[in-house]
Amino acid sequence: MTEVKLFSGTKSQSLAEKIAKHYGKKLGDLTISKFSDGEMSPSFNESVRGCTVFLIQSTMPSSDNLLELCLMIDAAKRASAYKVCAVIPYYGYARQDRKDRPRVSIAAKLIANMLTSAGADRIMTCDLHAGQIQGFFDLPLDHLNGSAIFVPYLERLLSENLIFAAPDVGGVARARAYAKHFEVEMVVCDKHRKRANEVASMQVIGDVEGKDVVLVDDLVDTAGTLCKAAQIIMDKGAKSVRAIATHGVLSGKAYENIENSVLQELVITDTIPLKQASSKIKVLSVADLFAKAIHAVTGNTSISSLFI
């Protein structure tokens, strides 16, 4: 077995430190220098020759985080690392996974090409916006599932009135997986958009009266859809509404929307650092999940035990 070394990008330092602690190693010494115009230059301050290197960096806005990760991969390959694995807790640009209208980019595929061209030998990520993005890569990809984090938390809140809801049609499979695990029913919020981040209309398909509803999504951006779905569900007679989402992008008026909503709580993970505290937002850590996955990869063992 080769020596394993873990390094962190600038914006994922806190999560990377937790992952390294759970894994049982300290983070490696890496410096990201910047020129006065903002140009980045990563350099490893220790040898990575012949090592299996894990580079931890979410690609949340700004796009500098993505470029920084690509430069880190390139630097590791040029320093003769044996294998380079890009650990991307949040894989940005994943919402652009197809041509849903003429003359648009399939950004998720472009990012996959960039990471491959930079020299990544393996990708490790969590809850892609669309599972088929795995097929955009011609190299091994470990797609971890946030259910391993959320299910134990929800089990402590289990009630006889529990029901799961998808905030849109695209999230039906995700919500159904939770409903099947807990052996309860699910409902769907059917929405229509005029443009990105703006919901024109929404209706609930299914009965939520007297139920404790859990909305399930992969990410929360402006929280507009989530808050509107929660309000409509309460208007339909639900007892309570809470939401779980792996990635807390939380841009624009997200914090204000959540605080002013009928949501009892929003449970997210630390794949993206929280910008500000909120009484309604609870953060669970994915550090142990990623540490176990890294152990499995380096030990050539199955990661199927990490899935619920």
Q: Spot the catalytic one: 5, 11, 83, 191.
A: 191
Do 9 and 140 have their domain in common? yes
- Read off the pLDDT of residues 145-191 as tens digits, 9 standing for 90 and up: 999 999 999 998 888 899 999 988 888 999 999 999 999 999 998 86
Give the dihedral of Cα atoms 143, 146, 275, 189; nearest 10 deg: 110
How many CB atoms lie under 10 A from the CB of residue 18?
18
Do 152 and 45 have their domain in common? no
pLDDT at 197 over 80: no
Mean pLDDT (the chain) is 93
Parent domain of 158: 147-284
pTM equals: 0.93
Instruction: Check if 109 is active-site.
Output: no
Do 112 and 8 have their domain in common? yes
Rounded CA Rg of the chain: 20
What is the average per-residue pLDDT within 67-78?
A: 98
Do 253 and 165 have their domain in common? yes
pLDDT at 29 over 70: yes
Do 155 and 137 have their domain in common? no
Contact yes or no for 83/122 (Cβ under 8 A):
yes
Do 125 and 159 have their domain in common? no
Domains in the chain, number: 2
Is-cis flag, bond preceding 41, omega within 30? Answer: no
Do 63 and 89 have their domain in common? yes
CATH code for the domain of 133: 3.40.50.2020
In the chain, the largest separation of any two C-alpha atoms, in whole Å, equals 61
